[in-house]
Structure 1
Amino acid sequence: MLSILKQLVGDVDGAWAAAISGLDGLLVESYSATDIDLSLLAAEHAGMLRSTSQVYTQTLSGGAPREVFVRAERISVFLHPIGDQFFLLLALAGRSNLGQARLYGRDAAHRLEAEL
């Protein structure tokens, strides 16, 4: 799993970290090109993904989210669910390439699902 995360960070322009987390917020595996603790990032985004999932499935009847992307001034985060219990988190610089993150992120999520 670690090799997939490292490759993802290397392949996506502006990516600086990738992680697999449970929807409970516990970090399963991570890779970061910085010294930032990804445990907090994963825990906060797990809550966001749970809330988004609840709204889309129950309130809006739109089905489960397939991707979530959050863009702030200095950071962007791409989330891709992996099965029912996990998700891929890809942390990016604020002005990174969303298309590239989605393309490589989806591929990595499918490969990681086979290992979980």
Structure 2
Amino acid sequence: MRGEDYFTVAPESEDYTTDGYETTAIFLISTPQYIFIGIIFNLFTKFRMPLYKNYLLMIIVLIQLSITYWIILVPAKFMRDNLEIQHLDSTFKWFLCLITISNGIACFLFELSIYLLYQHFK
């Protein structure tokens, strides 16, 4: 990312700054990951209500994901200002979406394999 023409180096300061492309990318990647992990941890537990039967949770998760991807893809000016998000190239925004979705799928497959191994050796 540092090699891209839109990258600007943040000035060095003793104060902690949150503006910069690195912090923007970390924030935009970690937010959907937290949501996906919450969904995945809910799927493979016997003592919880299944996700597809918990309609309120499904609605909340869908709202959270839609807001999160709205912030990634087309953030309004007030959102960028309040969250201190840098303006990113559209291809990089889609790349961030691809990273988060592929990470969610990889986490799901990993948890599924652990669950199936547990069921096999139980």
Q: Does TM, normalized by the shorter one, top 0.5?
A: no
As a proportion of its length, which structure holds more strand?
1
As a proportion of its length, which structure holds more helix?
2
Structure possessing the higher radius of gyration over alpha carbons: 2
TM-score of the superposition, structure 1-length normalised? 0.31
